[in-house]
Structure 1
């Protein structure tokens, strides 16, 4: 095994020992990641490398032009490109690439599904292409090259099994004493043998006069001869003829498949009023950031809108979203009014929509009932979610989350309410939100 193989093996070990995904979400440094790349710390980062033995103070050598003669001590190694005293990189400076496991949003979403037992299936919205799919549909007409012969053969075979019978046995029935053609036909009908009166009359006429009383009774015949089933006869003799009919013909044609683009817009709303102190802001970040990564990994095209609000609402950039704090009051409906306005750029027919809001459940009097709930009902979305953060316990007037639960219930498939009072609650809240979404009407 060479050095390259050793390096690959160490990398694999590092990947296996990276920080658990749930632990990373709850306690890790989320800010070290970028929108398209999640950096998860690896618990072991040292890779094998060559280095000088500090106990080795020199050696012996020989040579000319400055090369040590025999027995002359060799000094400490001189700085070379990449050594500590050179102008190159410091030792271990490039080891940073081994300190984190780099995960893209697609892998993050896949692993979070496995970690939390999620199974969110992205919904295609805008039709971007119609194309021919597999030949799964059938029609009664079409070119001969598309005739579904297998189906036609099966239909003919079923007909043969239904129409065929043991001709030799029925001919012997015609030889029962005192049995005429009508008696044979009545017996055959009672046995569900699909034979016509014309066939029996023809068979009866071909029997010599002296052989028409060969069997004293039908019971004697059945005790003596064994009737052969159609299936056994086919296995023994094969099939010479399959009775096809025009009605058996079906022609395959391709199913028209609509390829839909999976677009999503995520609106993140955060209360930035004076009551939203640092611990609350951190819990919002720990909940919203993985949600963004997850949906980015699930959809073909993901866009994010960030809204901050106190008594008024305004759009902000993601880099500012989690750090803003104002000194004003709280009016949550202002954020939903702005969200409704901004979502006009993302038509419901073409875009999946998620509206995630977070705060400490404090809101101005009657605003939740009179404005927020009606706005949530008016804004079409795959899912509306509210995350309450109260690390120190509920405040007396922190009733927004409770009012939402009373209005929408706990079984709604388009509204989720989650409570995050500590880091340990984060993954449960994420599961509560992402597992709530059900089938959405287009």
Structure 2
């Protein structure tokens, strides 16, 4: 065996080992992302059952409005989380930031699981529910930017779209898992048991998952370098607005439309099928479980599509198609009778959204340098998501309550049009060599 052959063999073994380390890092980091979103969506999927326990007065739409308001306020904590955890990630490391965020989500979920109801402690119950949601919102606000940054830095060059898509695979997986848990609990318990105590089960399960995710995240290798963390600009808000204002505003633009339509066709859609299409809650939950499973599987192919044809192409397809098809799809779903037809329509909508969600974190990370990457991605996402994504259910229900539900469809369309404009003016990472200098030490 020649020395050249031995060198080639060693290089091949090194490449394989490096690939395995990177794949494990994607798995370990995304496991925490799954837990974060399982806990967060457990609230959305069980709101129908615990709303009367914390807000006993009013009809179903009024109670859902109140729980949706608490859901939205949790989103308002995301910009704070995006700033705080972004600073920690850029200054002290992505790994530290991700471990703290999953611990906080566990605490918020466990608090909701044991929370006394309005009947037991009166108005203190909804106040404590709000505080627990604020802790969860802070945690999720920090999770998105840091995990998006980590996964973009650890992914293999040339396949970043494919690997980074697993952020939304696990995000949707968390949502799907929450939906599946609720479906199983529905099958095991009566409606009265669900409303009395069964809704708490999901939050206890979330706390257990968090412990597993924390253990997995302890094995992660840091992707930011000591050099980038020690720079005076690291984690600096001033640096972002001094040198990266245009990129920050572009991210705000397409995140606003992307977040709004994402929450419209995922978390709100369950209530839309019940409240507007008049499906029973078990059928609607079964439809959404099937939808989310399909949507999750869509992400890697759409991510790989962006590796071939570019992030900009994917974003333009998202913005353009979402602007054209949102209103017709919402009208069709309002009159749908068959659960199979509902499934097909929602999957079609989410196929359009997948052009965005499959590369959501990556396309943002590719626009910023490593010393401010986590904060830039996390803060821009959190602000737009808090204002438009977090309020989606509340605004939709508000329009319905006022008898002008169709105005919500046009509101979503308008925001998707803004995302389309942002996609037109965004730089093309495929051509301009973004994600430079990640400082990866894997």
Same topology, TM > 0.5: no
**TM-score, structure 1 as length reference:** 0.19
Give 1 or 2: higher strand fraction: 1
Higher relative contact order (CA 8 A, sep 6+): 2
Bigger Rg, which one: 1
From the two aligned structures, give the one with the greater helix fraction: 2
